[in-house]
């Protein structure tokens, strides 16, 4: 082993919502094993991140590329990383970081100062900002920070005032947002904050140049478990006609638009009068039961696309997600359809994940 073996970028660093570290670790361990990787996750509860460490100091770049960010459920960000730099001199944090950058041979176009999405992490917000300009200057001088470097970004992930993990990200296989979080502003006239879940889902699953095609004003949608109308509000704003299925009351201003037909019926027994463009659902129920209902809709060809949330149990959440996705795949295959299925734990989700299905 060389003297610099401990400086090989042999880790994948992944951010997540605090409290979901074990679920993310289970997901990555399972998918890495399927790919033939020899490694193990390190996950501390409540920290908002995990490290997946490859055995024998094997470089992590190939595995990180194979673990396509688009196909993962629980990560907010995925990076190739060196082991953490710990016990740094608080009077000179730049020198050890720059030594590692020079040794790595990395080049990059941008430097991100990242922190965990926790109270302890937020207390470190000013630290990265305080050294950003000096770090950029030093990186330019040694040729690491360049105008054109394949759109790679350097990430400094601070977990303490004297501990940082140096990592790199690649275009097309990362979140483009700081700390992997897309912040959205709550619309003042929306009926509930749940409206942000559907908006974030559209941003996550639908390319910007496809919005006018896939979210057209002439479309029809159903919102199962609609009241008071947080998700219906988003559909109405796109100009769609909506069947709102719920025994509870809907926001009066939504009903005044003339675009919503409120049906006080059971979401599990209601059937649409014609094939719909969209089905959305944010009901509180057992995830497998919701997944089976969505599968029924897809199997019967009642909708072309669906976005829905699965409320997860407190334990074995990754296993529950796997089970529900298997149910959906089975329903689609049984019907003889081909479908594009994605699932993500979004920032505006809490104890739930969001699933997108498009019949192709």
Q: Tell me if 287 is assigned to a ligand binding site.
A: no
Active-site residue, 311 included: yes
Q: Tell me if 230 is assigned to a ligand binding site.
A: yes
Sheet architecture: strand order including 77-81: 39-43, 49-54, 11-15, 77-81, 163-169, 153-160, 110-114
Q: Tell me if 229 is assigned to a ligand binding site.
A: yes
Q: Tell me if 227 is assigned to a ligand binding site.
A: yes
Q: Tell me if 126 is assigned to a ligand binding site.
A: no
Q: Find the Cα–Cα–Cα–Cα dihedral 88, 92, 97, 98, rounded to 10°.
A: -150
Q: Tell me if 189 is assigned to a ligand binding site.
A: no
Return the sign of the alpha-carbon dihedral for residues 346, 109, 54, 38. positive
Q: CA 225, CA 341: separation in Å to the nearest integer?
A: 22
**Cross-strand pairs, 15:** 49, 77
CA triple 200-267-322, angle to 5 deg: 55
Q: Tell me if 266 is assigned to a ligand binding site.
A: yes
CA triple 195-199-201, angle to 5 deg: 115
Select from 350, 335, 255 the least CA-distant residue to 295: 335
Q: Tell me if 194 is assigned to a ligand binding site.
A: yes
Residue pointed to by tokens 């289970």 = 26
Pull the structure tokens for residue 302. Answer: 């009642």
Q: CA 51, CA 74: separation in Å to the nearest integer?
A: 13
Residue pointed to by tokens 């008071």 = 228
**Active-site residue, from 133, 237, 311, 334:** 311
Q: Give the residue numbers of the binding site.
A: 194, 227-230, 246, 266, 282
Indicate which residues carry an active-site annotation.
311
Q: Give the residue numbers of the binding site for S-adenosyl-L-methionine.
A: 194, 227-230, 246, 266, 282
């Amino acid at each position: 082993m060389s003297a610099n073996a401990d400086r090989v970028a042999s880790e994948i660093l992944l951010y997540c919502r605090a409290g979901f570290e074990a679920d993310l670790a289970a997901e990555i361990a399972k998918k890495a094993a399927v790919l033939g990787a020899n490694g193990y996750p390190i996950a501390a509860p409540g920290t908002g991140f995990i490290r997946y460490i490859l055995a024998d100091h094997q470089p992590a770049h190939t595995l990180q590329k194979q673990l396509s960010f688009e196909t993962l459920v629980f990560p907010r960000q995925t990076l190739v990383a060196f082991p953490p730099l710990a016990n740094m001199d608080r009077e000179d944090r730049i020198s050890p970081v720059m030594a590692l950058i020079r040794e790595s041979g990395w080049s990059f176009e941008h430097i991100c100062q990242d922190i965990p999405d926790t109270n302890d992490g937020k207390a470190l917000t000013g630290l990265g900002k305080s050294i950003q300009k000096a770090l950029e200057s030093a990186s330019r001088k040694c040729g690491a920070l360049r105008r054109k470097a394949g759109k790679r970004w350097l990430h400094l992930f601070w977990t303490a005032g004297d501990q940082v993990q140096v990592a790199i990200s690649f275009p097309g296989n990362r979140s483009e947002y700081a700390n992997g979080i897309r912040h959205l502003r709550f619309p003042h006239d929306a009926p509930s904050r749940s409206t942000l879940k559907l908006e974030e889902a559209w941003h996550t699953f639908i390319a910007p140049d496809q919005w006018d095609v896939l979210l057209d004003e002439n479309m029809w949608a159903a919102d199962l478990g609609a009241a008071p109308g947080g998700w219906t509000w988003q559909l109405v704003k796109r100009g769609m006609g909506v069947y709102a299925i719920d025994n509870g009351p809907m926001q009066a201003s939504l009903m005044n638009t003339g675009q919503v037909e409120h049906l006080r019926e059971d979401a599990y027994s209601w059937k649409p009068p014609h094939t719909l463009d969209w089905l959305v659902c944010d009901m509180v129920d057992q995830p497998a039961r919701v997944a089976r209902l969505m599968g029924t809709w897809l199997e019967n060809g009642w909708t072309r696309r669906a976005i829905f949330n699965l409320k997860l149990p407190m334990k074995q959440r990754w296993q529950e997600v796997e089970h529900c996705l298997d149910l959906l795949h089975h329903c689609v295959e049984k019907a003889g359809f081909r479908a594009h299925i994605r699932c993500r734990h979004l920032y505006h989700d809490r104890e739930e994940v969001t699933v997108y299905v498009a019949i192709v």
